[in-house]
Structure formats: structure tokens, C-alpha cells
Amino acid sequence: MADDSNRLVRLLCRPKPLNTKGSDPGIHFWLIGSPFFPPLTVASFLRRIHALPSAASPDLPKESEDLRTLIPRGFEVVGALASGDDAHARAAVDAARTLRNLLYGEGTDRPVIGAVCGFDSGELRFFVSESENATGLESISSVIEERDSKKFVWENGCLLHCELPIKLPLYYSLKNPTDVEKSYVQATEAVIAKLRDPQAVYLLETSNKASQDISPPVIIRGLQLDFSTDLSKIKALADDDDGFDASSLSCSYFPISSKAGSPVFSAENADIIQVSVLFNSLGSSSASTVPVAEYFPVQEETRLLIVDIKLDVLCYSSRKLPLKYAISSLIIPGLVDQLNVVQKLMLPNLLAQHPWLKSYHFSPPGILHPITVFYELSFGETEMKQVEVRRSLHSRLGLPYDRPLLRISNALDFSKLNNNDMVSLQKGSTLLRDVHIGIPSSGVTGGTVSLVQGSYEYFHYLHDGYNDSGWGCAYRSLQTIISWFRLQNYTSIEVPSHREIQQTLVEIGDKDPSFVGSRDWIGAIELSFVLDKLLGVTCKVINVRSGAELPERCRELALHFENQSTPVMIGGGVLAYTLLGVDYNEASGDCAFLILDPHYTGSDDLKKIVNGGWCGWKKAVDSKGKNFFLHDKFYNLLLPQRPHMV
């Protein structure tokens, strides 16, 4: 191998801990970089999850199928990491180069990184192969770990977003239904040809409508596109280059969004250029313009199948990239990738109940670049087939398995994005959230405070103008609990109304139809039924004979908040409260309960709520002998369990 040189590898992140002791040499991670970054820059490490059954070698065709749409255009595979000694760097380079050819085709002969992780030391060493024909590897001894990786990626980068709905008309013979597959392939090829047609038109505009300095939209025509130039060889335009026509404009033509305060560098806060595809059929032509009708007789009975597809592509670009290359080298290849992926997923069940596919974009923690995922919406999010898809993605990305980071409710929502005001992408409402933050202490000496973790919304009597005073406290507690699961992205359902809660109990057979629209109370058991039906959430129910015994459950409640973190419902007689935490001194037994009281009937005035004691610490018996919990009442504690699945 060649001697060390002055070249360096730049790491924007590090791989997850890799246990190589006792393992066979093999490829463990793909190294992801970008043609817009300096050479040998690694933005992320994506785990290899498909291996050939007879060896530790990666199943490269399957890996390429997964990565084709997962990695947005503008990022690419730049190398591989293997376990073993330096000699295994060649295997890493060869695997990465083969994978690159599968993903991007021949002619992408750029330097490829081969990294190795030692069996004993776990030390990372890097090598580089300059070209496919290079026989030797160059050892890289200089490694820089970027301190502010997000700024490195997003300060001079932006996102391109393109949605394209398509209807594919497929004709097939009833005697030979397999013809529909051939028809689908031909229809897909026709769409791809149309995307590259000189008469195609691409409209680019900023998504920051709130900016006072909005640049006019730009039109790029198909005849201006260049499909033969490698992205890494495209000459960047200067920031102040404001050429005469669209072919000389760069992405920086659209001004950076005005953000108050210090800028936040992330995919969620990136500048976005919206791209629309317009198929122009009115261009000049030398052919006859006289209308012509052609008749093609069929020899047998034929059917027409319309397949609806909505492509949704997200790409990363340098702000200095000319707009015409943003279309030809990023948007169009991204659309083609999605067309091919959808075709592969559709064909097996095209004439049966073909899949209902939709792409979603995510920005999971620890991953600098966004990812794109296709979900089949025929399945519910809690069905095992969908869970296994997400579990595989969590493995690929090195994400924990007990957080719903890739559920639909956590996807980037560009329709709600407003960079000027930095509005959260999270669906939400005007309800008060997390009202317990900043309240006075409990008064327990030497206690340990265990609290709900994550956000919730405060639902109480008379909220949204619905009069449930005197009977709806358990409904309101349930709504608060469901809001916690929503805001932690365990579910995307809306918080149900009283009527919808009642209807759910009727549907599962717990109540008679007359229950819908009534003012009947519900308790812990009914709440557990609703949570199981609507969210797939299981609950633990604890029975307490009286309020005086509640302090005996403090240790168990503290463990719940530490491990499960969800709000708890306390029900006794005709009363229900939401419990947000406990302060417990195990030595003395002194304890207090953090109560969120749904019986409040006023406006959503945080100061009024806290000062009025509607959210605060309560003792079963205070210093004046006053009982908060009625001692002669039977109590149930409903402890929702956080789903430990992706």
C-alpha cells in the first residue's frame, strides 16, 4: 500500500459503536458523502443490513434497492467500512465501487474510501482508491472531525422539492392478463422520456412566501438541460452571478430566508426551492397541425387500468449549483429513481389490490441529511408488516428501537413550513402545553421528583365550547393522554372528541349504541379500551381501596415516570385527574402528586391555572389536615405503557 500523504478525510459524524470482537471480516457500514463537499468528506455512516447467505459479503443488489431512494440525490455512497486489518480495505473499496455502479451507473469513477475498524483496538483507518483501474490504495493518516457539522452541511446548501402526480393508463387483454405488466413498463418508460423531452418545462420558485424579497419564479426548458455532465465536474457559479437567462442562474438566485436571531442549521430549517413539472405540448413543430385520428382495432376483449402515482422527491444542492443542473442531475434522476422503485413494488399485485404507496421525508436525529421512505398505506402503522419495515430502517440508520422517529406523524411537512417565522413542522393546536413547567416545588423534603417526559396538551371542562362540566373529566384526562402520544409521534390520529370516544366503546362492544351522545361517566377500564383500539397502547391498571393508600403506590408511580414517562389517570368515584409526576422521599415516606385537574372551566390563561391550583403539587393529606383524595373512595390508576417498538 502507498505511503501516508498530506490528504485528509473529513468526518462530519462517527459510526455507531462497532463490536468487531469475534466477528468475521466484512462490510458493516456505507460511507455517505456529497459531490458538493470537499473530496473524502463523510457525512453519515449507514449500516449494511443485507448479506449473502453463504458469506459475510453484502448483498449489493438488495443494498442498492434500499439506498436508491433512501439517500436523497445530492448525497451519495463514497466508501465502505469493514472490520479487520488494513488488508480488508481493498474489499471495502471494491464493494463500495460496485454499489456505486449499481446506484449511479458506469462513468462515475471518483475516489472511493475504504475504511477498516481493527478487531482489538476498534481504531478507524482510512484508505482511498483514486479510480477503478488503480491497483494500489493510498493510506490517509490525517482525519479531521468537523465541530459544527450541521453548519457545514446547511450554511451553503439548500433543498429542492418536487411533487409530481401521474396517472398511468394500462391496457391489457383479458385472455392474457400478464400483458398489464408489459404495459406498465412501457408507460413508465414513456414518462421517463417525457421528463427528458426538450418540450418539458420546469418551474422553480422559493417556498418562503413570507419573505419581503421574493425572487420571481424561474423557468427551465428541457432543451436547456445537460444530462451528460458529472455533478463533481460542474463549475459552480459565483454568488453574485445574475446572468441574463435561466441557464446562467444558480440556486442562490433565490434569497436565503430571513430568520430572526441566530440561524438554525438543519434539514427542517433549510432553504427550499419548489420545483413543478409542466409538460409543454404547445411548442413549435414542423409536423402537420391538422387533427388526425387513428383507429387501432383490438382482436380480443381489453380492459383499462388506471394507476395513480404521486412522486415526491427531495434533493440536496449547493447554493452555487446552476439551476439547469439542479434539474438534470438531481430532480430528474430522483423522479426516475422513484418511478422505478414504485414499478418494482407495484408489479407483483397490479391486478389484485395493488399497493397504496406514498413517499415521506424524515430528518431523524444523528443523521445530517434527510432520508426518503416509501410506506404502503394499506397497512396500519401498528401492523407488524409496517413495524418490520420501520425496524429495518432503524437498524440501517442506527436509531433506537423504542422511539417512533420514522412514523408518518414525524415526517417533514413542507405544506406547513414557514422559514420566516420558523414555525414547527409538528402538527399542533392552540391548546396550552406542558403547563407544569415552572410551578412551585412540592414541599417534600429530600424527595426525588419523577415527572412525565415529553409534551402534552391540557384538556379541561368547557374546552372548545363543549359543555361537559360534571361528567367529562375522565374524557378530558384521556384526551390529554392521547395528546402526549401524538406529540411524541407515536400516532398521527387526531385527539378524539367525547362522541368519538363513545363511538369507539360501542364499536368494540363495551357499550350499547345508546351510549353515543350520552353524558355517562367512563373510568380507567374504558380508557384502556380506547387507548388499545385507537393507538394500540396497552395499559396497566392499579386498584387502590382508598385515597389514603395512594402514597403507598408512590414508588411504583415513580418507576412508571422514569421508565414509561406517560401521563397517568387517577379515577375515584365520579372524579378523574391526570397525574404528571410524584415527589417521593423513600426514607420518610413523604410524597406529593403533581395533578393536572381537568375540572377547570376558565380560559387558557397559564397564570390563572397555576395560581388557582389547577396544575400543582397535592398531598393526600396536607399540613392542615385537608384531604385532596377522598379517603372513602375506591381509586383506579391507569398507567399507559409506552410502545417499545419503532
Average pLDDT over residues 129-140: 84
Cβ atoms of 503 and 420 closer than 8 Å? no
- Name the catalytic one among 158, 251, 597, 615: 597
Q: Say if residue 226's pLDDT is above 80.
A: yes
Instruction: Check whether 4 has a pLDDT greater than 70.
Output: no
pLDDT the model gives residue 143: 93
Whether 458 has a pLDDT exceeding 90, the answer reads: yes
104 or 230, higher pLDDT: 104
Q: How many residues belong to the chain?
A: 646
Which value, in Å, is the radius of gyration of the alpha carbons in the chain?
Answer: 30
Is residue 597 part of the annotated active site? The answer reads yes
Residue type at 113?
I
**3-state SS record for 457-474:** ECCCCCHHHCCCCCCCHH
In the predicted model, is pLDDT for residue 22 greater than 70? Answer: no
pLDDT band for position 281 (50/70/90)? low
Distances (CA, A) of 286 to 17, 283, 289, 290: 64, 10, 9, 12
Instruction: Read off the amino acid at residue 232.
Output: S
Q: Quick one: pLDDT at residue 631?
A: 66
Let me know if 615 is a catalytic residue: no
Residues 358-387: tens digit of each pLDDT? 999 999 988 999 999 999 888 777 778 888
- Residue in the block written with cell 379541561: 460
Q: Is residue 97 a contact partner of residue 91, using CB atoms and an 8 Å limit?
A: no
Active-site entry in 50, 354, 599, 631: 599
In CATH, what is the architecture of 448-640? Alpha-Beta Complex (3.90)
Residues 397-436 have pLDDT tens digits of 999 887 888 988 789 888 755 444 333 333 445 789 999 9
pLDDT tens digit sequence for 473-518 = 999 999 999 999 988 888 878 999 999 999 999 999 999 999 999 9
- In this predicted structure, what is the pLDDT of residue 489? 80
Give the DSSP H/E element, type plus range, for residue 181: helix 179-195
CATH 1.20.1690 fits 8-147, yes or no: no
C-alpha cell at 633: 373512595
Q: For the segment 85-103, what is each residue's pLDDT rounded down to a tens digit?
A: 888 999 999 999 999 999 9
Residues 6+ apart with CB under 8 A from 511: 502, 505
Mean pLDDT within 188-195? 94
What is the tens place of the pLDDT at every residue in 288-328?
556 767 666 667 788 888 889 999 999 999 999 999 999 99
Residues 30, 95: contact at Cβ < 8 Å? no
CA dihedral sign of residues 179, 184, 185, 189: positive
Q: Is 615 helix (H, G, I), strand (E, B) or coil?
A: strand
Q: What is the pLDDT of residue 18?
A: 61
- pLDDT (mean) for 265-289: 75
According to DSSP, residue 92 is labeled H
Percent above pLDDT 90 for the chain: 57
Nearest Cα to Cα of residue 80 among 493, 542, 184, 64: 64
pLDDT for res 259: 53
Give the pLDDT of residue 201.
94
pLDDT at site 413: 83
- Taking the C-alpha atoms of residue 592 and residue 458, their distance in angstroms, rounded to an integer, is 20
Say if CB 620 and CB 547 are below 8 A apart.
Answer: yes
Residue 605's pLDDT is: 92
Of 487, 452, 460, 458, the closest CA to residue 561 belongs to 452
- Which residues contact residue 538 at a Cβ distance below 8 angstroms, ignoring those fewer than 6 apart? 528, 531, 532, 640, 641
Coil, strand or helix at 620: coil
Window from 64-73, 145-154, 166-175 with minimum mean pLDDT: 166-175
The per-residue pLDDT of the chain, averaged, comes to 86
Least Cα distance to 280 among 205, 337, 224 occurs for: 224
pLDDT tier for residue 347 given thresholds of 50, 70 and 90: confident
pLDDT (average), residues 35-58: 90
Grid coordinates representing 112 are: 472511493
Sign of CA dihedral 50, 53, 56, 62: negative
* Domain ranges (residues) in the chain: 8-147, 155-233+246-254+266-280+301-416, 448-640
Active-site pick, 251, 315, 473, 539: 473
H helical segments located in 329-419: 332-346, 384-397
Angle, alpha carbons 292-295-301 (nearest 5°): 150
Residue 580 near residue 589 (C-beta atoms within 8 A): no
| Amino acid 121: pLDDT | 65
Q: What is the mean pLDDT of residues 149-178?
A: 91
pLDDT band (50, 70, 90) for residue 284:
low
Domain 8-147 and domain 448-640, same fold? Reply is no
| pLDDT-derived band at 108, boundaries 50, 70, 90 | low
Tell me the mean pLDDT in the region 580-605.
93
For the cut 60, the answer to whether the pLDDT of residue 125 exceeds it is yes
* Pairwise pLDDT comparison (513 vs 108), residue with the higher score: 513
Helix (H, G, I), strand (E, B) or coil at 94: helix
Amino acid 2: pLDDT: 40
